[in-house]
Structure 1
Amino acid sequence: MNPQANTLRVATYNIHKGVQGIGPARRLEIHNLGHAIEQLDADIVCLQEVRKMNRQAAMRFRHWPELPQADFLAPEGYTAVYETNAITKHGEHGNALLTRWPVLRKTHQDISDHRFEQRGLLHVVIEVDGRPVHAIVVHLGLIKGSRIRQVAQLREFVEREIPPDEALVVAGDFNDWGARMRYAMNAMGMRDSSDLRGPRILTYPSRLPVTQLDFIYGRRLAPVACSVPRGPIWARMSDHLPLVTDFLLSKQ
Structure 2
Amino acid sequence: MQHAFRHSTHAHHHASTLLGHRLRVATYNIHKGVRGVGPGKRLEIHNLGLGIEALDADMVFLQEVRHFHHQEAREFKRTLQGWPDQGQADFLAPEGYEAAYRTNAVTRHGEHGNALLSRWPLGDIGHHDVSDHRFEQRGLLHVVVNWQEHQVHAVVAHLGLMHGSRVRQTRSLADYIEREIPPDALLLIAGDFNDWGERLDAPMREAGLERAQPPGGRRIATFPSRVPLFSLDRIYMRGMQCVGMHVPRGPAWARMSDHLPLVAELELA
What TM-score, normalized by structure 1, do the two folds share? 0.96
Aligned twin of 2:64: 49
- Residue 22 (structure 1) shift: 1.7
1:83 partner letter: R
Q: Report SS of the residue matched to 1:158.
A: helix
2:162 partner letter: I
Among 16, 41, 48, the alignment partner of 1:33 is: 48
Q: Report SS of the residue matched to 1:96.
A: strand
Distance in 1 between residues matched to 2:215 and 2:236, nearest whole Å: 13
Query: Structure 2 matches for 1:169-188, cutoff 5 A?
Result: 169-188=188-207
1:39 partner letter: A
1:226 aligns with 2:226: no
- Distance change >3 Å, CA 196–CA 187, structure 1 → 2: farther
- Residue 164 (structure 1) shift: 1.4
Instruction: Show structure 2 runs of 5+ residues with no match.
Output: 1-14
Q: Report SS of the residue matched to 2:253.
A: helix
Instruction: Work out whether residues 63 and 158 of structure 2, in 8 Å CA contact, stay in contact via their aligned partners in 1.
Output: yes
Aligned twin of 1:133: 152
Distance in 1 between residues matched to 2:48 and 2:151, nearest whole Å: 29
1:217 aligns with 2:236: yes
Instruction: Describe the superposition over 1:118-152 as per-residue Cα deviations: whole angstroms up to 9, x where unpaired.
Output: 00010000111122100000000000000000000
1:243 partner letter: L
Query: Structure 2 matches for 1:1-252, cutoff 5 A?
Result: 2=16, 3-62=18-77, 63-194=82-213, 196-250=215-269
Instruction: Describe the superposition over 1:43-88 as per-residue Cα deviations: whole angstroms up to 9, x where unpaired.
Output: 1100000000000000001310001000000000000100000000
- Residue 178 (structure 1) shift: 2.8
Distance in 2 between residues matched to 1:28 and 1:55, nearest whole Å: 14
Instruction: Work out whether residues 178 and 211 of structure 1, in 8 Å CA contact, stay in contact via their aligned partners in 2.
Output: no
Instruction: Work out whether residues 212 and 237 of structure 2, in 8 Å CA contact, stay in contact via their aligned partners in 1.
Output: no
Distance in 2 between residues matched to 1:5 and 1:93, nearest whole Å: 33
- Residue 195 (structure 1) shift: 6.4
RMSD: 1.2
Q: Report SS of the residue matched to 1:117.
A: coil
2:99 partner letter: A
- Distance change >3 Å, CA 195–CA 32, structure 1 → 2: closer
- Matched positions, count: 250
Runs of 4+ in 1 over 3 A off after TM superposition: none
Distance in 1 between residues matched to 2:176 and 2:121, nearest whole Å: 23
Instruction: Show structure 1 runs of 5+ residues with no match.
Output: none
Instruction: Work out whether residues 213 and 245 of structure 2, in 8 Å CA contact, stay in contact via their aligned partners in 1.
Output: no
1:231 partner letter: G
Q: Report SS of the residue matched to 1:196.
A: coil
2:58 partner letter: D
More moved, 5-14 vs 138-147: 5-14
